[in-house]
Amino acid sequence: MSRSTNPTAYAAIVADTFLFSGIPQEDLILLLDTRDVRVEHYEKDEVIYDRSQSEHALGILLFGSCVVTKESEGGKMPMSVLRAKDLFGAAGLFHTEREYVARVSAQESAWVLMIPETALIFMMQQDFRVAENYMRYLTARIRFLSSRIDGFLPQNVEERVLNYIQTHAEDGVYESEWSVSALADALCVSRSTLYRAMDKLVFERKIERNGRAFRLPRGEEK
């Protein structure tokens, strides 16, 4: 399916992101017309970023979805699934390292707005609201990653699983994007240990489970 690369066609989407929050559409369209800002299309399973990528650019997912994984010689660990309006690539900006920190690939046909570092700097110079929003975005990411680390601190496996569900739940419900094996890898536990932890949490009424969906008791959301 063809998607327009004209800024007016996707301005409403990017206006609803951290980066361009509070910026009127007429100002936003001018910013999106900055040199080297472009829209890229990626087919299913096509890699957007990995450790060998060298472009320093911020991506905004316009249509479709992408999956983020950490990979090593021992295998790969699922990190998150990106949807429309999600940002990625911030870890590749404002430093001299050539390797990116994770692998980002299209989970389905995906259209991405790419903002090179030089273009982002120009936008910040033209409109300080972009710089302010970017700082807020980074602060939110730091807090999110800190909460992810918290999930690995408890010695009790049940606490680790519960913390993970609480961190990722929306409106008290977390529906896993991953298979049990992949979720176990993300939590650094075996499948059998994960099943036992889930069963115990259900027995203690700390969660309700329906397949890959988990519901938290009212008041237990983070």
Distance of CA 90 to CAs 25, 97, 115, Å? 23, 13, 11
Here the tokens at position 134 are 């970017």
pLDDT at 137 over 60: yes
Q: Which residue has the higher pLDDT, 220 or 123?
A: 123
pLDDT of residue 212: 82
The closest of 221, 188, 204, 161 to 75, measured between CA atoms, is 188
User: From start to end of 29-145, where are the E strands?
Assistant: 38-42, 47-49, 57-63, 66-72, 75-82, 87-88, 103-106, 110-116
Q: For CA atoms 73, 74, 79, 81, give the dihedral sign.
A: positive
Asked whether the predicted pLDDT for residue 43 surpasses 90, the reply is yes
81-90 in b/e form (b: 16+ CB < 10 A) is ebeeebbbbb
Q: Are 79 and 68 in contact (CB under 8 A)?
A: yes
| Residues 90-119 pLDDT 10s | 888 998 877 788 889 999 999 999 999 999
Amino acid at 153: L
Instruction: Report the distance separating Cα 56 and Cα 115, nearest Å.
Output: 9
**Predicted pLDDT at 150:** 60
For the entire predicted model, the pTM comes to 0.67
What CATH number does domain 7-149 carry, 1.20.1600.10, 3.30.230.10, 3.40.50.10860, 2.60.120.10? 2.60.120.10
Longest dimension (CA), the chain: 58
144: pLDDT strictly greater than 80? no
What pLDDT sits at residue 2?
A: 42
Rounded to whole angstroms, how far apart are CA atoms 173 and 94? Answer: 36
d(CA 39, CA 26): 19
Residues in the chain: 222
Pick the closest to residue 152 from 137, 167, 141, 140 (CA basis): 167
Domain with CATH 2.60.120.10 in the chain: 7-149
| 153-191 pLDDT tens trace | 555 788 888 888 888 888 889 888 777 787 887 777 888
At the second CATH level, the architecture of 153-215 is: Orthogonal Bundle (1.10)
- Residue 111: what pLDDT? 94
**Contact status, residue 111 vs residue 64, Cβ threshold 8 Å:** yes
- Classified as helix, coil or strand, 181 is helix
Q: What is the pLDDT of residue 1?
A: 34
Q: Which helix (H) or strand (E) holds 173?
A: strand 173-175
Share of the chain above pLDDT 90, in %: 47
Residue 23 structure tokens: 């910026």
Q: Which of 129, 212, 118 is nearest to 169 (CA)?
A: 212
| pLDDT at residue number 222 | 54
In the predicted model, is pLDDT for residue 192 greater than 70? yes
